[in-house]
Structure 1
Amino acid sequence: MTAALVFPLSAAAHPEIPAPAPAVLPPPTAATLHDAYAANRANAAQASRMAAAHGDEDRAAADRAMAAPSRHLLTFDGRGSGQATEVLGDLARADRVAILVPGSDTSLDAYGRFRRTATSLHAELTREAPAGTRTAVVAWLGYETPGTISATVTTTGRAEQAAPHLREFIHTLRGVVGDDASISLLCHSYGSVVCGRASKHLDVDDIALLGSPGTGADSAAALHTRARVWAARGADDWVREVPHVRADLFGTTVGFGTDPVSPAFGARVFAAGDGGHSDYFAPGSACLTNLARIVLGDTSEVTRA
């Protein structure tokens, strides 16, 4: 992203890969979750066959993995760079739910990397949850992420397109988990820009900004959310070198404003350890421990930076 801020380049268009249109399903409920999972797995299997026939073995393999019987896909769209929403855990019975929003260069082709973060968090929550507390993690790849080396990664354009979809998804999720469940939104890198754009009056309890270049807002208060706003940055994260400015260039706003870990922003800044930009969910890390505490509501135990 640093290079993109200095030398904005146009990302190469993703080659068009044939895939079926997403399954047309009613909004899920706790009773219909498994029907939704089955329909989306079937769609992923069909997408895999179409990609293989097209000669794209990498995408065919990625889609095939998504179609495995063990996968719980709440949504799936194999067209273009691809989108998917995957559930880890028993969402219908969960008391505590974490939604992960990824940053740049996340697609179906690179989905395994994103899924590993969700798996790591789910394992930590399972290990640390008090007896009787049920947890679920939702990996939300519900938007076309920008390329790290691209002009789009320096603007809020993709985030503004994504924000209504994230709001709609969280509204739909409430229909599954009910009003009593706690929902935390964990937003990595450019995903924090998406969360910043979606945050106004969003029905979540916590928003955590990880390795954020900024949110497009000058302060946590300007996000207009009732949620607790958290922020963290690893000591070795290159995003610390990103200029926290906003400027209008040829009618487009470039940059994301105030650094979320700065006192001026006003978030609850917590310790992320010595990790780099891809290490926030590393097993055994200080950041993963703190994220689990946030999701589980143990906010007094979160280690502050």
Structure 2
Amino acid sequence: MQRRRLKRILIGAFATCAVLADAGAAAAQAAASNEQVVITTPPTGSSAWVKDHSLGRSLPNPATADAATVATFFASLTPAQQDQLVREYPLVVGNLDGAPLQLRYRANALAITADRDQAKAQAADPKLDPASHALAVSRANDCQALLAPGRQILAFDPRGRGLVSEVFGDLATADRVSVIVPGSDTDLGHFDRTDDPLRSPAGMARALQAEEGRQSPGTSTAVIAWTGYVTPVGLGPDAVTSRLAEAGAPRLERLLDGLKQTSHPVAPPALLCHSYGTVVCGIAGPTLHGATTDMVVFGSPGMGVSDAGELGSGVHLWATRDSTDWIGDVPYVEVGNLGHGADPTSSDFGAEEISSAGAVGHTGYFAAGTASLHNFAAIALGAYQNVSYRTS
């Protein structure tokens, strides 16, 4: 009964979006009020950065410079010059793919501290209404948690709901690197849930790295929990269109471009894509060239492609969905701009269909003892012989 009701809700969401698309300006404005604002521009401070010639040279433009250019630039600086840029432009350095990892970690700690202090000051304002006060307190607490010793924040952007990415392990020396690309309802406030950790990117990353260590104790691994794009909220219009994914895919591509400069695993980073994050990965897939990238999609509403072949020869696609995941009731169709297309777990899609036995629901794939977690780790480690496949 619950699954049928959810299916009706989701189909209704598709229908509502279709009606709104044809209902004129007033309806379109109402739909837009529930949509998220994408972040596609460089971080705060970039305008001043590109105008800065205090080092006697131009600084790489965050909007246009590729990771190789960024890496070459930082390699040419003295430690004092690097420190100067970190102090003066923490948001730029902290989000600049190709910049040295340790500089990014330091820069993001400064940026997070500033955002925490701003939120604390806002919360102390006696004129603040209760709702705004609660939001400010929550923001300050979220930032404080990221400042705990040992945390390695690879990216932090305080705009909007907040974007944050974290590294687990030694990214500079890891033999195997994985990137978790999450789906809807992930942002700064939901990046590292303490009440239900496996629903959050940080919790997924910890579980994956722990399983990798169990399966191959001698292998050096790093896992990136990447909340680097604006995700949909709930089951609104954003969830049934690719608008946010289209804005997020280039950001994922830049992350991978940067990892080529700052990490040196034995194979390209494995991409583990969940829910709406599989749409992001589907758009990014055709840009992946060179050595084959393992891409694992789970709980997918569709990837925006008709089959695995559309992802290109640079992607080795694996897919799974557990039998209790409500996403299986989503209509796997694409009509106009609505829907995300074919089911990646269907037999004719072309993905290797792996087992997720033991997983429960839409967010249970990283639970201890599940076949899905075992398989994710085996694929990330390149131990394909240990992967178990779906049998029915």
Could you tell me the TM-score, scaled by structure 1's length?
0.91
1:12 deviates by 4.7
CA distance in 2, matches of 1:142, 1:219: 26
1:113-161: per-residue Cα shift (whole Å, max 9, x none)? Answer: 2211111111111221252x21000011010001122101101111001
Distance 1:79 1:4, change over 3 A: farther
Counterpart of 1:134 in structure 2 is 220
Asked if residue 296 in structure 1 is aligned to residue 384 in structure 2, the reply is: no
CA distance in 1, matches of 2:313, 2:223: 22
The code of the aligned residue for 1:244 comes to Y
* Paired residues for 1:21-170 under 5 Å: 23-25=91-93, 27-28=97-98, 32-55=100-123, 56-112=136-192, 113-131=200-218, 133-170=219-256
CA distance in 2, matches of 1:14, 1:223: 27
Asked if residue 257 in structure 1 is aligned to residue 257 in structure 2, the reply is: no
Contact 1:196–1:217, Cα closer than 8 Å, also in 2: yes
Contact 1:142–1:165, Cα closer than 8 Å, also in 2: yes
Counterpart of 2:12 in structure 1 is 6
1:59 deviates by 1.1
Structure 2 residue ranges without an equivalent (≥5) = 1-5, 18-30, 38-42, 46-89, 124-135, 193-199
1:20 deviates by 6.8
1:50 deviates by 1.0
The code of the aligned residue for 1:295 comes to A
1:216 deviates by 0.5
Distance 1:169 1:27, change over 3 A: closer
CA distance in 2, matches of 1:41, 1:225: 39
Contact 1:83–1:141, Cα closer than 8 Å, also in 2: yes
Distance 1:290 1:180, change over 3 A: closer
CA distance in 1, matches of 2:304, 2:117: 41
Distance 1:40 1:240, change over 3 A: same
Distance 1:217 1:13, change over 3 A: closer
The code of the aligned residue for 2:253 comes to R
CA distance in 1, matches of 2:11, 2:158: 30
CA distance in 2, matches of 1:42, 1:118: 24
Equivalent residue in structure 1 for 2:371, among 261, 265, 286: 286
Asked if residue 219 in structure 1 is aligned to residue 307 in structure 2, the reply is: yes
Mean alpha-carbon deviation: is it higher for 291-300 or for 180-189? Answer: 180-189
The percent of aligned pairs where both chains have the same amino acid is 38
CA distance in 1, matches of 2:36, 2:333: 30
Could you tell me the TM-score, scaled by structure 2's length?
0.71
Of the two structures, which has the highest relative contact order with CA contacts closer than 8 Å and spacing of 6 or more? 1
Distance 1:155 1:13, change over 3 A: closer
Mean alpha-carbon deviation: is it higher for 83-92 or for 122-131? Answer: 122-131
Distance 1:51 1:4, change over 3 A: farther
1:265 deviates by 0.7
Distance 1:147 1:284, change over 3 A: same
Counterpart of 1:240 in structure 2 is 328
Contact 1:196–1:215, Cα closer than 8 Å, also in 2: yes
Counterpart of 2:196 in structure 1 is none
CA distance in 1, matches of 2:357, 2:189: 29
Contact 1:213–1:259, Cα closer than 8 Å, also in 2: yes
CA distance in 2, matches of 1:147, 1:141: 14
**SS at 1:247's partner residue?**
coil
Answer 1 or 2: which has greater strand percent: 1
The code of the aligned residue for 1:38 comes to R
Contact 2:179–2:272, Cα closer than 8 Å, also in 1: yes
CA RMSD across the alignment: 2.1
CA distance in 1, matches of 2:201, 2:11: 24
- Between structure 1 and structure 2, the one with the greater Rg is 2
**SS at 1:87's partner residue?**
strand
**SS at 1:282's partner residue?**
coil
1:9-41: per-residue Cα shift (whole Å, max 9, x none)? Answer: 8575789xxx97661225445xx3222111101
CA distance in 1, matches of 2:228, 2:34: 21
The code of the aligned residue for 1:202 comes to L
CA distance in 2, matches of 1:94, 1:125: 12
Structure 1 residue ranges without an equivalent (≥5) = none
